[in-house]
Structure 1
């Protein structure tokens, strides 16, 4: 985390007249951060950034991606009582949020695990200003981060296709994209999927299709053998209850905005040691 980010988050939380944290005597104390429920861990580096900035000594033997049981100690802390109080809410907010994302992601990854080769990915439906942390939490949970931003991959969405058509949109993308960038196109029919494959798309996203429609389209793409390197992705309102059906359709990637915007925060707490 950049120093400017740390200071921005601290400024938001502390304000200009922090009386609450300075009520206690400023002396060296010890504290622990622990989880109050089973979860998958994410956000350790974010927490360390705040501790380092505030001069708090933090010790952990854990790693992002670890499965934690209720009551597990995440950090043992020592340092200024005022500094620990100032770090408390920010660290707990990040850990609770990011562990929630990692936990939901791991649940989804476990659901599709019996089907070899299927990846669970997130989307760009992220909290403004927190994208990189949320996507790293998806990685901690065993998922794929997809694009971090619009520059990673050229994505031809439905609005592009509606304005230009599949062929013109792909042609324009090929002209403008670097040789290092893959081109992905979002389609809503088997016909457009086959057309996009024939025109050289690298990734074809099947959007808002039922599992049976996806299975039929995937079978058509495989049988056509237009380009065997094409990655087939499915997306659009998919939740954990839908995963088993979609995983069996033959797709390579299932992308889910819900990994982030429907993840429930994990209850993480800080207590001073006796």
Structure 2
């Protein structure tokens, strides 16, 4: 967990939720009231965000005591208790919604990723996430993919050269795009991998002739054409497939022999895992 990235996300989320005060809690609960709560799982899936919840609670109130019962990456079912909290009731209630919002989404992503990873077991193909993430939440969502057993692709525009169709078209073709990218890295003294997207076998052939890349993204290839593409590559470059890949057809793509399959739906359209933070009455 990178606290330099995480802590601003947490503080912004708390500010968004609390504003100038949790007036409901302040109006109904006496100052100094102590209490306990527990995080109850109400769904089946993979738990994610426990470590994040610890940091949220620490920022809200370092005196809050969390007893973790289930760690990140663990399969859970309805009725499981992920952790308990003890301390200031006002602070527990301040942390509640931010903890739940983050953990529910992260657990949903981890659960979906884990389902895909399980399907691909034994194929040699790994699943990648994408940049199709919620603004401001990318670190958390990509963290959840890792918890679910997936692999993180580039984090942003700065940590990899990914030449997509628009770059190819604007630069005047594949050869120009690759040549320009290599020259840019040289003049800027940057050590970044180069990946290029191809839309058909003709473009793939041109990339293979030009060379100078690390990975080839085979976009919107049908499984039978993808198999031809993998054969043409002959293991020279890492291969990645994307576009129109779902749980229903993913095995057809994996069986074509690609190294990676990237799926934007891991982060942009998952169902959150149902979790609830409830007071423990004594």
Say which of 87, 98, 103 aligns to 1:95. Answer: 103
TM-score normalised according to structure 2 size: 0.91
Aligned partner of 1:225 in structure 2 is none
After superposition, the C-alpha distances for 1:84-137 in whole angstroms (9 at most, x for unaligned) are 11111110010100000000000000111131x211001000000000100000
- Paired position in structure 1 for 2:10: 6
The residue correspondences of 1:108-257 to structure 2 (distance < 5 A) are 108-115=116-123, 117-163=124-170, 164-177=172-185, 178=189, 180-198=191-209, 199-222=211-234, 228-257=235-264
Where 1:136 maps in the other structure, the secondary structure is: helix
Q: Quick check: 2:9–2:136 contact (8 Å CA) kept in 1?
A: no
- 1:179-207 Cα shifts (integer Å, max 9, x gaps): 63110000011121122133222100000
**Contact kept in structure 2, 1:166 and 1:196, CA below 8 Å:** yes
TM-score, reference length from structure 1:
0.94
Alpha-carbon separation, structure 2, partners of 1:241 and 1:25: 54
Q: Paired residue for 1:46?
A: 52
Helix, strand or coil at the partner of 1:241: coil
Q: Secondary structure at the match of 1:125?
A: coil
* Cα deviation digits, residues 66-86 of structure 1 (max 9, x gap): 111221111111011111111
TM-align CA RMSD: 1.4
List alignment gaps of at least 5 residues for structure 1: 223-227
Q: Against the structure 1 CA distance between its residues 160 and 36, is the aligned structure 2 distance closer, same or farther, given a 3 Å change threshold?
A: same
Name the SS of the counterpart of 1:213 in structure 2: helix
Q: Does the Cα contact within 8 Å between 1:25 and 1:81 map onto a contact in 2?
A: no
Aligned residues: 268
Give how far 1:25 is off: 2.6
Q: Give me the whole-angstrom Cα distance separating, in 2, the residues matched to 1:7 and 1:220.
A: 50
Cα distance in 2 between the residues matched to 1:119 and 1:90: 31
